[in-house]
Amino acid sequence: MVIVFLIAGVLIPMMMNMQNRLEDKKRSMHAAEVMYQAARQYRLSSTTSGYWKFDGTDYYWKVEEARICAEYVSVDTSRKVKCTEMAG
């Protein structure tokens, strides 16, 4: 009985938490890739905004002044924004 409570009460929630953190890191990595591709597209065609989809997650990007930002929804359904400065 103690083993069942240990698995259900500790190990499963811990595993779910680790899985959510890994998914958030993956989405952050995809946002970085979106910003990289957005910078290439901006340099080639002066496009200042766009949208890409990775693994079912929507990423919206925008170039403002010398910054590129990607916006996406995290695992906990909050909006995340990742930005970087563009080099001259």
Residue pLDDT, tens place only, 4-34: 776 778 788 889 999 999 999 999 999 999 9
pLDDT interval class at 88 (50, 70, 90): low
pLDDT of amino acid 20: 94
Domains identified in the chain, total number:
1
Question: Are the C-beta atoms of residues 68 and 83 closer than 8 Å to each other?
Answer: yes
Which range marks the domain in which residue 33 is found?
2-85
Check: CB of residue 81 under 8 Å from CB of residue 71: yes
pLDDT score recorded for residue 70: 98
β-partners of residue 82 are: 70
Centre a 10 Å sphere on the Cβ of residue 27 and count the other Cβ atoms it contains. 20
Per-residue DSSP letter, 86: P
Q: What is the mean pLDDT of the chain?
A: 91
The number of beta carbons lying within 10 Å of the beta carbon of residue 80 is 16
Q: For 24-72, how does the pLDDT look when each residue is reduced to its tens digit (9 = 90+)?
A: 999 999 999 999 999 999 999 999 999 999 889 999 999 998 899 999 9
CB 35 within 8 A of CB 80: no
